[in-house]
Structure formats: structure tokens, C-alpha cells
Structure 1
Amino acid sequence: MRRQHSGDHSRFTFWRIASHEQLLQPPRFFSLRGDNYPDMGGSRINLRFLDHRTGRHEDLALSQRELILRLIKHIPEKHFRMVRYFGFLANRVVGKLLPLVRKALGQDNVKKAAPVTYTTLSQGLLNTDPFACLLCGAKMAFSRALPATALEKLIANAGEIARMRYVG
């Protein structure tokens, strides 16, 4: 059954009527039952975590209520403004103050990361310069971009492409 829609976002709205068999089936929801998890034994939940103080893996058994109470401690209040960086790392002053902090700590020679470009990635992976000609080794310059070629056209001209005589 199709019905005209007066909104600007879509031209038609499609309505689907469910059959009576679909209405009698239970709804399909994801269920969190204890038998889906091997570590859940009834009302206790066993957690395995890395204790950073000791460097060892620890086991912790909590009731479902205790786990939920521990988790909701980390949910901020509504309209609470989260601050990621503050002090000399704040976005407004990091450009001015971070060099001063590095100078005070004696870290004047900070290496800048090399920019990641197509050329550097290709040279690192393939050990070839992507802008060097494969035949004579001369440096190639960008002249134009060609649109994508259809697969049938590439297959039909495979011989010419292999001999490097095909120009799209």
C-alpha cells in the first residue's frame, strides 16, 4: 500500500502490513541470559582483568548489582562538561606553552614526524619510486587525471596494456 508523503525528504512512504502469523510470534530481541556466557554462574559474574600495580591477571567475582553500581560511577551527570586536556595541554594554549615546558624539561630537540604521503608509503612498501618511469627511470610529472575505465574495455585491450601501448 503506497501513500503520498508531503515532506521534502522522501517522495513516498511505504506501509507494510504484518500477517497474523508474524503478529503471533514473540518479538526478536537480543537476550542477555546467563547460559550465553560461560563465566556467568547465576547471580555472580566472574571478571578477569589485568592489575597494573602487580602486572598479573586477577579474577573478580561480583554480583550483578555490584557490577552495575561500579559501572554507573563512570557515567557523568547530565549536561556535565567533560574536560580532556587542561593546563598547558589545553587547546587554547598548547601551541604557546608546550614549547616552554619542553625547554624547561630539557627536551629542546624534538623530532618532527615525517609527513605520510603516497610516495613515502609506496617507497617503504614496494621499494620503488611511484613517480619514476619503469622503462627509462626518468622522473614523471603529473599531467592529467583519467576517469575510471570499464572492466570490459580493460579486458579487450589487455594485450596493448601489457605492451604499454594502450592510452585510455
Structure 2
Amino acid sequence: MVRYYGFLSNQKQSTLLPKVYEALLMEAMKKPEQPGFAALMKGFPHTDPYKCILCGNRLRFTNAEADRHATELLYEKLNGIGRKRWYLAEVAG
């Protein structure tokens, strides 16, 4: 009955539950902070998702593409860099 009509009911919980904690001399529990994607990647696989795999510099967000897999985008980027290097070598040489 307390769950549906008392201080734990959905409508009254936000107003009455702090009063219950105060009467029992307890502190209200705080929600734990959810770590972000970068923190999880640095913690478990020990990789920085914002570090470039080619040069090691910090990545900067410029655009987003939907419905494309990351490996496909990376392959296109690496091929584009290879073509640029070949072109620069041809022009310089």
C-alpha cells in the first residue's frame, strides 16, 4: 500500500521522500555519474578514442556520416592519404 498510495508512490515520491529522509536523519542517495564513452575507452581497453591512429595527435570533430561503418570510413580515409602522398611525391620528384 505504501508503494502505491504512500510516500513511495510516483506522484508523491519527489515531495515526500526527502521529508522521510530528513525525519530519519539520512542523506538522500545521489545518482551515480555515468562515465562517458571516452572514459570507458580509456579505462578498459586503455585506448584514447580521440587520438589519431596515424599521427598520434588529438582528433577534432568536423562532420558526421550516418549509415556507414567506421572501418569503411577509415579505409577510404587511408586510401585518400595514400593518394595524396603519391601525388605529392610525383609533383616533388
Q: TM-score, normalised by structure 2?
A: 0.52
Contact 2:8 2:17 in 1 (8 A): yes
Percent of aligned pairs with the same amino acid:
27
**Given residue 85 of structure 1, which amino acid in structure 2 is its aligned partner?**
R
Name the SS of the counterpart of 1:89 in structure 2. Answer: coil
Instruction: Tell me which residue corresponds to 1:23.
Output: none
Please state if 1:128 is matched with 2:29: no
Following superposition, the deviation at residue 101 of structure 1 comes to: 1.4
Following superposition, the deviation at residue 109 of structure 1 comes to: 5.7
Pairs aligned (count): 75
**Given residue 27 of structure 2, which amino acid in structure 1 is its aligned partner?**
D
Structure 2 CA distance for aligned equivalents of residues 145 and 84 of structure 1: 49
**Given residue 165 of structure 1, which amino acid in structure 2 is its aligned partner?**
I
Higher strand share: 1
Instruction: Tell me which residue corresponds to 1:93.
Output: 12
Structure 1 CA distance for aligned equivalents of residues 45 and 18 of structure 2: 37
| The one of 21, 24, 29 aligned to 1:102 | 21
Q: TM-score, normalised by structure 1?
A: 0.33
Higher helix share: 2
Gaps of 5+ in 2: 83-93
Task: Choose 1 or 2 for highest CA Rg.
Answer: 1
Contact 2:7 2:16 in 1 (8 A): yes
Contact 2:7 2:13 in 1 (8 A): yes
